[in-house]
Amino acid sequence: MCKACRHLNICMVYHKAYGGNSDSSGLGDLFNSLVGHLTIAHCKFLKHWIGQEQNFFSESGMNNLDCTFRCGDYVVLSTEAGRIAVASGVINDISQSHVSVSFSRRLRLPGIDRSLEMERLIQEVWRIDKDEFASSFAIMRFNLIQLFAQSSQCGHLRKMIVDLETPRFDSEGILSQDPAVSYIRSEKNLNDDQRRSVQKILATKDYTLILGMPGTGKTSTMGIDFVRVGRREAVHTDVLEHCFTEDMHSVDEIKAKMEHVRVVGVTCLGINHPLLVNKKFDICIMDEAGQTTLPVSLGPLMLASKFVLVGDHYQLPPLVQSTEARENGMCISLFCRLSEAHPQAISALQCQYRMCAGIMELSNALIYGNRLRCGSSEIADAKLEFSCSKSTILWQQEILNPNRPVIFVSTDNLAATEEQDHKALASYSEAYIISEITKELIRRGIAGDGIGIITPYNSQANIIRQVIGASVEVQTIDKYQGRDKDCIMVSFVRSSKNFRSCNSSLLGDWHRINVAITRAKKKLIMVGSCETLSRVPLLKLLIEKVNEQDGIVRISNSDLPCLEELKKSFHPSL
């Protein structure tokens, strides 16, 4: 019976990974022919990552995952009365007032008389959850199993990813004969770092890693015309023109387009799209690879003979909510794994076009060891340009001085301890300070879309939005990776005598701090308690570096006469 099963190959891979052999499989020599290529190291790798997936989903649970629904999402329907997972389906329409879900079979309530079923279905209160097990989990598991399949492509990937064999590159003599090299050398839109990166990609026989430090233009280095495969609802408006249009009515027309196009864009989780079945590419380029878990990264690599990973493992790693999975390495991306194993495969982009010199100096001192440099004198000397007269309020004058690109507003002289409601952390004092600075920035001619406000905590982001309205964008630090604004304000929130809790919080992750201090182009304003934050070693160094730039501004209760009224508006009991 097993010999005729379509899952035989997968089943035998599992069997060997978990200690099985030809005798226990009952297949004898057939077992060896199917999985004889797998080594002890291969089995250990597979077993480890499958274990981390199970930890990831069992501890995270569906309630903790992002539940913003879109058309095409796989969902699970349950009832508020306690019937769990009554049915699974796909969202085919959604608006502010309704959600339409299609099912593969008729919706039924277990144990209900069929004559009363329709009435009960209408009366029932339904709960909808994303079916992560039908999408992310299944794709991650499939990718891992495919890596250990018996094929030349999978064998090559195993050598690179599991066995960590050294990647190969053509010699300079062979590469010089490639006509593309002459074009790259003459291309004026590329700087020296970008030119070296493209040449390294052309030379690779296996893979290349592009370390794109903040603001270095890694996306523009990669950018060319392409077709975007996937749901239009999930695609950024800037990319919609690359999607298949609605006037393409026939399958043959779409197939012809796919045969003609040379570059295809797709997310890692969308790699199993029907249009990509049996599709093979010369090379796979994966952006933001430092934020992608290893099992998710594997899918696209199966479709290409070579690959390029573009990312920065000094910024935020993959988001893993399960503590056990995170501690066992689930947050280590493939980009990080290969970077540490073979640093010679890295081509670094170090010439940045985002931050002025004063802001860049912080990340250079804290993270990048002075490797970052400004792309031009205009970038290095960039300042906020105000169209109106400066404020009459002294502390606002100090903060908005355009000659001081980095400011840290210390709240140590305020009665500004953090507030905690259940597990949510917030600081109304910091929210008020940021709102006052925002008003003054806008009054002096800085456009709202040129200002960004970030914080480690969702609860603080919500409070700041309530205080300042919708004039500027407010997000968590994690959601701002890859983004930038002329002026960025950071609310650190933590102000407590319990220094241990601060050190173990979100602020203890140096990747997150790196993202926070590298989003601003011309002005970086940080707000927090120097005394509390200095208990975190990296933040202590950050504050010291700001102080070297004469950027510490200390404010007191006399500077904020309306602070207590603001607090009472949120907490009348205060």
Mean pLDDT by 10 residues, the chain (574 residues): 81 92 91 93 92 60 52 82 80 83 80 76 83 73 92 95 96 64 75 90 95 82 71 76 73 82 89 85 94 94 96 90 81 95 96 97 96 96 92 91 96 84 84 93 94 95 87 92 94 81 72 96 96 92 96 90 66 52
Can you tell me whether residue 58 is helix, strand or coil?
helix
In this structure, how many other beta carbons lie within 10 angstroms of the beta carbon of residue 323? 11
Q: CA-CA distance, 159 to 439, in Å (whole number)? A: 57
Give the chain's end-to-end CA distance (angstroms, integer).
Answer: 72
Q: CA-CA distance, 261 to 320, in Å (whole number)? A: 36
8 Å CB contact between 348 and 193: yes
Q: CA-CA distance, 467 to 567, in Å (whole number)? A: 11
* Both structure tokens of 471: 């004039």
pLDDT score for 502: 61
Identify residue 431 by its one-letter amino acid code.
A
Q: 426: part of which helix (H) or strand (E)? A: strand 424-426
Strand partners, 487: 451, 523
Can you tell me whether residue 316 is helix, strand or coil?
coil
In this structure, how many other beta carbons lie within 10 angstroms of the beta carbon of residue 513? 25
Dmax (CA) for the chain in angstroms is: 87
pLDDT score for 63: 42
Q: CA-CA distance, 313 to 67, in Å (whole number)? A: 27
List all residues 6 or more positions away from 557 whose beta carbon is below 8 Å from its beta carbon: 413, 414, 415, 563
pLDDT score for 423: 73
**What predicted TM-score, i.e. pTM, was given to this entire model?**
0.82
CATH 3.40.50.300 in the chain is located at 152-224+263-352, 359-570
| Check whether domain 152-224+263-352 has CATH 3.30.230.10, yes or no | no
To the nearest 10°, report the CA torsion of 187, 189, 191, 197: -70
| Check whether domain 359-570 has CATH 3.40.50.300, yes or no | yes
